[in-house]
Chain A
Amino acid sequence: MTRPVPAPVRARRTLLHLISIVIGSLIVVPVGFGVLGGFKDNGQLSTNPLGWPDPWHPENYTGILADSVFWRQLANSTIIALATVAVVVAASAMAAFVFARFAFRGRELLFTLFAIGLMFPFAVAILPLFILLRSMELLDNPLGVILPQAAFGLPTTIIILRQFFRTIPAEVEEAATLDGCTPFGFFWRVLLPMARPALATVSVLAIVASWNNFFLPLVVFTDQTWWTLPVGVQAFQGQYADDTARVLAYVVLSMIPALGFYAIAERQLIGGLAGSVKG
């Protein structure tokens, strides 16, 4: 690697950079258009969609941030995501523990039942789910979103956690049992602490899934007070269809938490996705 770089290699590298930059700008430019567009007024957007705002109009952003609606939606999204993670990770960890470390009749059949759930996200079940939630009086109730999200998150979470639990050697469990650990004690005091990286991974995946969910909150919450950010963004677009700059500002503000979270949890997210494919 310390050899001088020959010309063809350099040319090839330049080409690779060029391709990457073109693709990268396909992503950055629309987002940048949104960010800057939020600082323009609609007149500027028509005449000067690409350039810097001149003059800068922070009112779109400050107006949204001064209104409680945005913050409430942010809080709703956060509460629902955290509650979903708590439920799905707790239930999955317990189930995965059983699937990974106990031998019993029907184990594989049960596990396959969960695994099949992987193929059927909300779209297939949303209508009967709605009818079911209505009869359980869970409409306009955050639990009506949290519990189904957790249920649909079970397959991925159980598969990843079971895989991880299996890698913990049987000797560890035997030692714990000899020291007087009950199965629950082993699960709680040995297995879960050891599985922290895997728990972080599944939590991050569940947070992103919940945060981005649109279909379920859309049908469950007719009452605006519980709207999450995706529902809010769509409604805002409908309400201010003619005010492009203001909608852009709302879109950009709603992106910030997701991108911020990505910045923090990039490793778990990317590792988790790659891992979940193998399971």
Chain B
Amino acid sequence: MKLSTVPGQRPGDQEAPSAAQVPAATRRRGRRPRRQQLITIALFLTPALVLFLLLVIAPILLAGYTSMYKWNGFNLPENFVGLDNFTRAFQDPTFLGDLWHTLVLITLSLVIQLPVSLALAMLLNQKLKGRGIYRVIFFAPYVLSEVTTAVLFTLVLSPNRGLGQQIAGWLGIEALDGAVFADPDTVLYALFFVISWKYFGFHMILYLAGRQGIPQELTEAATTDGAGPWQVFRHVTLPLLGPTIRISVFLSVIGSIQLFDMVWVLTGGGPIHASETMAVTMFDRGFRRFEVGYASAISIIMFLISLVFALFYQRYVLRRDTEGALTTLGDQR
């Protein structure tokens, strides 16, 4: 099962190219002067390659370099400290807290946000009047910026003039009554709620697209064989949605590791670092306190965590079902 909603793309095309394209390309190569072809390749690749090397790869290498210095970000880094910044990070309660918060947010996403998104996708896949409208509404928060969303919810859930406390009052829910973002015990959950509010529609759309890529004959055949709706879902739909789910999990985890905008605007990482993430700590140290070397080390740790996760995930979870998606290592096989 593949998601093939890039407009104009025919189903079944996706796997073919690497095999079908090569002979055609080789044929062309024979006809076209080799030199001219190389010039074309070089000219066409240059803009993208320059941009990418200069503004994506170089910064990451630069961070690797400055992470080994004690440096305030001005003049040239001179005070080489080796791996001290890294050992410092793993003794820094704030940074260890960041790791814990990331883990909590990832767990909540996997256990609550994604299953809810999946359930809603299945719901909107039913014949239901007005499901088009529901879909449009559910997805709408995705187009709002994290900042807008965060400011809106700061006010919606504010203990004074807010909406949350009013509704909570009616429903008699004490937990929502106070300032959810000011209480270290609730702030992470409130943050998770706002993140889910913005992103569940995104995951839902992915699942919906995946679900619509499953041939109807398969579910119909299962029904004919006497399977109930739950059995069809469990034994036909869910396995065939595997690739979509695995990618949605991947995006969700990577997103949690990088989380910044939402936290910065909603809580600034507080109260007392209770909602701080790695990116927030990095920003605070690097841009506020000018501990650029230490902040670089945090960037590098974020990078390594993402990289290790991505490689691990690619190797053990995605295996072949992301050919051409996350990396095209698959094309070489």
Residues on A lying within 8 angstroms of B by beta carbon are 1, 13, 16-17, 19-20, 23-24, 26-31, 33-34, 37, 42, 45-46, 49-50, 87, 90-92, 94-95, 97-98, 100-104, 108, 110-132, 147-148, 150-152, 154, 158-160, 163-164, 166-167, 170, 173-174, 177, 183-184, 187, 197-198, 200-201, 208, 211-215, 219, 229-231, 233-234, 237, 244, 247-248, 251, 254-255, 258-259, 261-262, 266, 268-275, 277-279
Whether A125 lies near B63 (C-beta < 8 A) is: yes
Closest B residue to A276 using CB positions: B6
B173 at the interface (CB under 8 A from A): no
Instruction: Give A31's nearest chain B residue, CB to CB.
Output: B152
Q: Is the CB of A198 within 8 A of B128?
A: no
B5 interface residue (CB < 8 Å to A): yes
Contact indicator B139/A150 (Cβ below 8 Å) = no
Q: Is the CB of A277 within 8 A of B3?
A: yes
Give bound CA distance, A157 to B28, whole Å.
26
Task: Jot down 13 A-B pairs with beta carbons below 8 A, ordered by A.
Answer: A26-B197, A95-B48, A120-B306, A131-B62, A132-B54, A132-B62, A198-B8, A237-B154, A247-B151, A258-B143, A258-B148, A274-B209, A278-B4
Across the interface, do A150 and B128 meet the contact criterion of CB distance under 8 Å?
no
A24 to chain B, nearest CB (A): 5
- Which residue in B52, B73, B327 is a CB contact (below 8 Å) of A151? B52
Whether A127 and B6, one on each chain, are in contact in the complex, defined by CB atoms closer than 8 angstroms, is no
Taken together as a complex, chains A and B put the C-alpha atoms of A201 and B59 apart, in Å, by: 29
**A128-B60, A279-B325 known; A274 and B205 CB under 8 Å?**
yes
Most buried by B among A34, A200, A229: A34
- Minimum CB–CB distance from A105 to chain B (whole Å) comes to 10
**Which residues 49-107 in B have Cβ within 8 Å of A in the complex?**
49, 51-52, 54-60, 62-63, 66, 73
A124 near B302: Cβ-Cβ < 8 Å: yes
Set A30, A125, A268: member contacting B59, Cβ < 8 A:
A125
In the complex, how many angstroms separate the beta carbon of B246 from the nearest chain A beta carbon? Answer: 10
Known: A30-B156, A94-B48. A215 touches B261 (CB 8 A): yes
The 9 closest A-B pairs by CB, nearest first: A274-B209, A197-B7, A275-B6, A170-B24, A212-B145, A151-B55, A95-B48, A128-B59, A103-B25
Task: Provide the B146-177 mask, 1 if CB < 8 A to any CB of A, else 0.
Answer: 11100111111010111100110000000000
Given contacts A23-B120, A124-B302, A170-B24, are A273 and B2 in contact (CB under 8 A)?
no
Q: Which residues of A contact B282 (CB under 8 A)?
A: 123, 126-127
Contact with A along B294-309 (1 / 0, CB 8 A): 0110010011001100
Contact A166 B17 (CB under 8 A): yes
| In the bound complex, CA of A244 to CA of B151 (Å) | 10
Determine which of A37, A148, A163, A266 lies in contact with B9 in the assembled complex, contact meaning CB atoms within 8 Å: A163
A95 touches B9 (CB 8 A): no
Residues of B within 8 A of A163 (CB): 6, 9, 14, 324
Residues on B with C-beta less than 8 A from A152 are 55-56
* Contact of B312 with A by CB under 8 A: no
